[in-house]
Amino acid sequence: MTAKLEIGGARIAFEDTGSPRSGAATLLLVHGFPLSHAMWRRQIESLAGECRVVAPDLRGYGDTPLGDWPVEGEPPRLDRYAEDLAALIEHLKSDGPVVLVGFSMGGYIALAMERNHAAAYDALVLMDTRAAADDETARATRHKMADNVGEWGAGRVAELMRPKLFANETPEAIVQETVALIAATDPAAIAASQRAMAARPDSTPLLASITKPTLVVVGEHDALSPPAEMRQIADAIPSARFVEIAGAGHMAPVERPEAVNAALAEFAQSL
């Protein structure tokens, strides 16, 4: 079921699927940049039988407009996305544990949630993401894209990102599916997100304070958030579990959905 919720000047669209037993986990799947909830299609189809699966479109992505964000004169922050998710969780009124699943940029947002809204959810999944802030080179690259995407169009962004997203063995049909999602994105959302990601703080010091059940997932061939870096994240979080997805690059949920689904299902059932 697709629904919309008015939050802070925007109607946030989200997929709400599954009608499992009372007390079952709710998986809140937060997509990456610059995609939409559609990247989670294979997770929604597989996991809705045992869990309630909720997959929102972040501001500016999919069926959610940017609304009144970013506010003129104020730099965009990932905290806006986190505030939206906190309001959505409250609206859902789940009677079971809420599992926040953040992929890539969604992981950055999940860490913003941990700073400001940690009591809103019960368990955390960090997938193909990073805790560290950008260095100067990465920030400059983000600002260059933000400044030029209006002229370039989202299609060029898709082609620029493509080489770093997938393992070599990933089928071309999967690659093209993701490229099409990126190419359909509003350039204004791309610009706002890039500026927000460039401004995000270093979350590494936060990791040791995360006490809720946590799962860290990464693709074996992820070039953007390498397994060694993701393992360091898992090691820094007390009692975190670490899963490496064989044969996947950065887009693990799309490239190797069966393995990702199994990891998510096992984690949810353990709560």
Give pLDDT tens digits for 113-158: 999 999 999 999 999 999 999 999 999 999 999 999 999 999 999 9
Q: Give the domain CATH number at 214.
A: 3.40.50.1820
183 within a domain of the structure (yes/no): no
Domain boundaries, position 265 = 2-132+202-269
Domain count along the chain: 1
40 within a domain of the structure (yes/no): yes
pTM over 0.95: yes
**pLDDT tens for the 271 residues of the chain, in order:** 789 999 988 999 999 999 767 889 999 999 999 999 999 999 999 999 999 999 999 999 999 999 989 988 889 999 999 999 999 999 999 999 999 999 999 999 999 999 999 999 999 999 999 999 999 999 999 999 999 999 999 999 999 999 999 999 999 999 999 999 999 999 999 999 999 999 999 999 999 999 999 999 999 999 999 999 999 999 999 989 999 999 999 999 999 999 999 999 999 999 9
189 within a domain of the structure (yes/no): no
50 within a domain of the structure (yes/no): yes
176 within a domain of the structure (yes/no): no
Q: How far apart are CA 24 and CA 29, in angstroms?
A: 16
Give pLDDT tens digits for 157-192: 999 999 999 999 999 999 999 999 999 999 999 999
240 within a domain of the structure (yes/no): yes
Residue with tokens 């898709």: 158
209 within a domain of the structure (yes/no): yes
Residue 67, classed as helix, strand or coil, is coil
184 within a domain of the structure (yes/no): no
**Burial level of 150, CB count in 10 A (0-12/13-18/19+)?**
exposed
Q: How far apart are CA 212 and CA 230, in angstroms?
A: 18
